[in-house]
Amino acid sequence: MRFLISIKISIRNLLSSKLRSFLTILGIIIGVAAVVVIFAIGRSAQKLIVDQIQGIGSNLIAVIPGDSQEDGPPPIAFGILIKTLTYEDLEALRHKNRISEIESAAGYVIGTKTVTFLKNEATVSVDGVTASYKDVENVEVEKGRFFNRNEERNLSKIAVLGSSVAKDLFGDVNPLGRKIKIKNHKFEVVGVLKPRSAGGFTSSGQDETVFLPLKSAQKLVYGIDHLFVIRMKAKDPALIKPAKQKISQILRQRHDIKDPAKDDFSLRDQASVIGLVTDVTDVIRYFLLVVGSLSLLVGGVGIMNIMLIAVSQRVREVGLRKALGARNIDIASQFLVESVTVSLIGGVAGIILGLLISLIVYLIINALGYDWSFNISFTSIGVGFLISIGVGVIFGMYPAKKASRISPMEALRYE
């Protein structure tokens, strides 16, 4: 009852000087809005980045020839050519579901060659891959087909084109059934892939790549027997760890390695990268949160200021209330409820403003073509509420105490 009356009194006092009240509340509005926006946008930005990485494949495991640090560059980056990884290794790894955690596995050889069609010429990535590339990399075919398991082994002279390559070489001509020339060999185009900005495992992106069956690329184009990399897709990101153990076991057995320190291969996955990115974006988020808190601090000081003014303007009122029987605690709680009400009104306005800004950002970024999710984070709304109550209590405490100490006798004499 008394509590409701205190709220009523404070709202009446707020309304009695609207501009001043608004200016006071403004600090809180901005602070809370900042916190809400940081929560909502920070989340979405993090999600966008993580999604981009996941688009490349978060449940992928890569087997690279040669030993290397988990987060260091592979040996090939230093120009060291290691030929220990073979097609037979791949066959062993995917043999009859030996590794139940793995959905599919693909082998790759990678390089750059000049590709010609009639007078058109393009120097692009020419990669040899197994038929399973399609499953591992989630490739979608626009026209024609991808090659099959038989074609990957029997030196078939066929090719599948990335979308940009197809456009560069053929323009408006339908490439299907036509022959392109790579290093004196003619390959018939059997498929064109859908455009895809991110993903794939090529030096210049899937759209800029010509895909050949693995053996054809090894023998006819590059003249090698080894693989550059094996990529495997786990059924679930959580299964990556057990899958990696089994892969290591199988490869050690095949390569006759007794001491794990002498592995001639290394395994990579994207979980660690995502973890790192999440950590970094978290730090940025917390930093922005500190900035938001500073504006709340400013808002809080504003509230303290307005409450002190209110106390000095209402000395007589306080004196009267005391004369009528109000205890110190009654006066203190009245002013405290007032400051919390002020702060809470600011908080609610701030939450609404923050959500509005987040929505606008969401609309703009989506219009720019990014997949940006609009998360109404209930945590941020809750935090906004708690913060505004907290600011009201903390910065209302001193003025409330000051008011409660006013002597009724002096207050009634006060003009």
Partner 1 sequence: MKKDYLIEVKKLEKTFYTGGVETRAVRGVDFKIKKGEFLTIMGPSGSGKSTIMQILGFLDRPTGGNYYFKGQNSKKFSDDKLARLRNREVGFIFQTFNLLSRTTVFENVELPLLYSAQKRNKKQIEKMVEKALKKVSMNYRSAYFSNQLSGGEKQRAAIARALVNEPEIIFADEPTGNLDSKSGKQVMKILQDLNRQGKTVVLITHETKTARHAKRIIKIIDGKIQDDYPVKKSIDANGKGDLK
The footprint of partner 1 (CB under 8 A) covers 1-2, 5, 12, 16, 316-317, 320-328, 330, 407-409, 412
How many residues can be counted in the chain?
Answer: 415
- Of 110, 71, 80, residue with least CA distance to 200: 110
Tokens of 134: 């399609």
43 vs 322 by CB, closer to partner 1: 322
19 vs 324 by CB, closer to partner 1: 324
Give a three-class secondary structure readout of 269-306: ECHHHHHHHHHHHHHHHHHHHHHHHHHHHHHHHHHHHH
Tokens of 32: 């809370």
Cα 377 to Cα 44: distance, rounded to the nearest angstrom: 10
- Of 201, 191, 246, residue with least CA distance to 227: 201
Say how many C-beta atoms besides its own lie within 10 A of residue 236's C-beta.
10
241 vs 405 by CB, closer to partner 1: 405
79 vs 325 by CB, closer to partner 1: 325
46 vs 333 by CB, closer to partner 1: 333
Residue 382: which residues within 8 A CB-CB, separation 6 or more?
Answer: none
In angstroms, what is the minimal distance from the CB of 358 to partner 1?
Answer: 38
In angstroms, what is the minimal distance from the CB of 2 to partner 1?
Answer: 6
Residue 408: which residues within 8 A CB-CB, separation 6 or more?
Answer: 318, 319, 320, 322, 323
In angstroms, what is the minimal distance from the CB of 337 to partner 1?
Answer: 14
In angstroms, what is the minimal distance from the CB of 404 to partner 1?
Answer: 10
Cα 289 to Cα 287: distance, rounded to the nearest angstrom: 5
In angstroms, what is the minimal distance from the CB of 43 to partner 1?
Answer: 45
**3-class SS at 85?**
coil
317 vs 338 by CB, closer to partner 1: 317
20 vs 98 by CB, closer to partner 1: 20
Q: What type of residue is 230?
A: I
In angstroms, what is the minimal distance from the CB of 327 to partner 1?
Answer: 4
In angstroms, what is the minimal distance from the CB of 402 to partner 1?
Answer: 16
